[in-house]
A and B are shown apart, each in its own frame.
Chain A
């Protein structure tokens, strides 16, 4: 997987992309035990097209396909792994990329979304596997409660947390 980050870092140094951060299960693996996944999710900051406000992933596709990497549905296959590039969908994603944690994979520099932002994004997304991941974050004790609360407050996700707590963290006696 080191080779993937080398390719992405090269795109960054050649100014095809701006900041980036690893998200999804690979990002969560930075904080938790390894989580089985079939793809790599990368959140990237991109400039908008000069003639419109539309943000496009075309520069990434052009850069990689011109170097022999294959596009497959929503993925670009890099060193055998399907990699999904996502531009920030909202202020939460933008903040997640901006505040990502710097780390290294076998000497290659890279960035990972913070645990609190990953949990907040999972809460916003709200699929079954996202709720399972939030529970893993909580059980493992890696979330900073103050920081998590502040992110949720800033991005209007407190109500979703309340629903999550009622559904998944309710009193065990009530579960029947």
Chain B
């Protein structure tokens, strides 16, 4: 594993631990924001499936 990848994984682990230690109320606030983002992404035209006759190639 490269040094760069090791740092990425360590950073990810540290962030997850930090988030895990938040209070339940704080976590739920983040969860609400995650849901808002998910709903926005789901509404995006880029996510709408095209019918076969609309697809290129």
**A26-B28 contact, Cβ under 8 Å, with A36-B34, A36-B38, A38-B39:** yes
Question: With a CB–CB cut-off of 8 A, which chain A residues contact B25?
Answer: 2, 104-106
Q: How large is the interface on B (under 10, 10 to 19, 20 to 34, 35 or more residues)?
A: 10 to 19
SS class, residues of chain A in contact with chain B:
loop
Q: With an 8 A cutoff between CB atoms, is A35 at the interface?
A: yes
* Proximity bits, A1-16, B CB within 8 Å = 1, else 0: 1100000000000000
Which residues in B have their C-beta under 8 angstroms from that of A2? 25, 28
Question: Is residue A48 within 8 Å, beta carbon to beta carbon, of the partner chain?
Answer: no
Which single residue of chain A is at the shortest CB-CB distance from B16? A33
**How many angstroms from the CA of A38 to the CA of B36 in the assembled complex?**
9
Check if A26 sits within 8 Å of B31, measured CB to CB: yes
With a cutoff of 8 Å between Cβ atoms, the chain A residues found around residue B20 in the complex are 31-33, 140, 142
CB atoms of B35 and A30 under 8 A apart: no
Contact: B16 with A140, CB < 8 Å? yes
B:13-42 near A, CB below 8 Å = 15-16, 19-20, 24-25, 27-28, 30-32, 34-35, 38-39
What is B's interface to A at a CB cutoff of 8 Å?
15-16, 19-20, 24-25, 27-28, 30-32, 34-35, 38-39
Chosen A-B contacts, 26 in total, with CB atoms closer than 8 Å, are A1-B31, A1-B32, A25-B31, A26-B28, A26-B31, A29-B24, A29-B27, A29-B28, A30-B24, A31-B20, A33-B20, A34-B19, A34-B28, A34-B30, A35-B31, A36-B34, A36-B35, A36-B38, A37-B31, A38-B39, A103-B24, A105-B24, A106-B25, A112-B24, A140-B20, A142-B20
